[in-house]
Amino acid sequence: QEEGLTVTDAVVLLDREQGGPERITSGGVNLKSVLTVSTFVQVLESKGLLDAETANSVRKFVADMKFEAANPKPTVVAPKLSFSDRASKAPNELAKNLLNLMEEKKSNLSVGADLNTCAEVLALADKVGPHICVLKTHVDILSDFSDSFPQELAKLAEKHKFMIFEDRKFADIGNTVAMQYGGGVYKIADWSHITNAHTVPGPGIIDGMAQVGLPKKRGLLLLGEMSSSGTLAAGDYTKKTVEMAKNKPEFVMGFICTSKLCDEPGMIHMTPGVQLEQGTDALGQRYLTPEIVVTERECDIIIVGRGVYKAADATAAAAEYRERGWAAYTARLSK
């Protein structure tokens, strides 16, 4: 197709049953496969050439890694819009600032600092700060949190020009989350530019958090999808989450998701579980590459945790992810 040919049919030897046929046929191409993985495994198992444990392991892997048809890749109304173009259309002030920052730094990388001490998080932030647009934190896993930590982190955010995203995943009724967000031990709204929430409680959770966050010019991400296998954040849940976001665009600035969920230019799509190679870990976390996330699925920011903070050289790893993420973004603009 890229060379100007009209493609009507495609033939493959093995259908891995991971969503490929759906993607190909949605583009108007008729797919013919000789075998499916399920058939292949069933035949080998029936002939005694594959033991039951291995066969079940293969079936589980295929199921876990399948791109669910419940959330197909949507049609993008304005795929050529750059981050700076979208910034001018964003109703949320923080989203506007973040999109401009991404364009300025030429970075759509967020590093997840899932570490256990304040010193470790601050050291990592200083190392990767020049390469990121957002630092993602989990303050509730810090064993030595103190009031000075947010202050020190804010200094690094100003020094390196990145935003702070506390990955709190609020999930209670509006009145309760308002107190959790604005008070308690962590006082998250005082120092974290961005936080996120589940939508299981309904729109009241957004209203409650907006009472605290809007006066401080904060932004909220809604969990539309998750990168773990077996997640319930799919289908109708995701659709209703998008509706809630559209009803509160002055506070909701986007989504945590694995594929683009809506065409609103001011909504930023952030995707966790990104590594340089596709795969899954022992606890069901599915990893996707920057190219799949940004170019194919048209999300905006890649969130990388272990791929950076467990690297021998975190600075070099962040630089590599930044390069891959930005190249995937520029490739998307040229499509």
List the catalytic residue out of 169, 216, 239, 240.
Answer: 169
Give the torsion sign (CA, 20, 26, 29, 30): positive
Q: Give the residue carrying structure tokens 């930005």.
A: 326
List the catalytic residue out of 172, 190, 207, 263.
Answer: 172
Dist CA 326 CA 291 (whole Å): 10
Task: Please count the other Cβ atoms lying within 10 Å of the Cβ belonging to residue 130.
Answer: 16
Dist CA 316 CA 333 (whole Å): 26
- 169 counts as catalytic: yes
Nearest of 309, 327, 316, 332 to residue 131 by alpha carbon: 316
Dist CA 125 CA 121 (whole Å): 6
- 240 counts as catalytic: no
Residues belonging to the active site: 169, 172
